[in-house]
Amino acid sequence: AQSVAQPEDQVNVAEGNPLTVKCTYSVSGNPYLFWYVQYPNRGLQFLLKYITGDNLVKGSYGFEAEFNKSQTSFHLKKPSALVSDSALYFCAVSPLGSSNTGKLIFGQGTTLQVKP
């Protein structure tokens, strides 16, 4: 079955330190990969996506993500965390071959807590 896993329910980092939010996937073929962020009482906001090409993708708010095909991972990173980065982060995958469906498979989410 196709799935996305975010192995950590919560990640705690100190402000100014680098952060990593982990995501691994299990889908057939080469998927398109996305990261979204959700602030309290808000909808999801798109951060970045990997389609093809360079394995390091840069997105909004200084975030980046590294695609690793051999490890089937797409970890979200930021060199220096801000308190305002505290939110719920979702990894999502769109499997190739699901044309005309638009289906996204989401991970269960990781809460990022950045402390001053």
Partner 1 sequence: DAGITQSPRHKVTETGTPVTLRCHQTENHRYMYWYRQDPGHGLRLIHYSYGVKDTDKGEVSDGYSVSRSKTEDFLLTLESATSSQTSVYFCAISQNPPTYYNEQFFGPGTRLTVL
SS3 61: helix
Tokens of 89: 């982060």
Stretch of 10-18, 19-27, 36-44, 70-78 lying at the interface with partner 1 (CB under 8 A): 36-44
- 107 lines the binding site for partner 1 (CB under 8 A): yes
- Which residue bears the tokens 């996204």? 104
Does position 44 interact with partner 1 (CB under 8 A)? The reply is yes
Contact between 106 and partner 1 per CB under 8 A: yes
Contacts (Cβ under 8 Å, ≥6 apart) of 79: 18, 62
For position 49 contacting partner 1 by CB under 8 A, the verdict is: yes
If the CB atoms of residues 49 and 77 are measured against partner 1, the closer one turns out to be 49
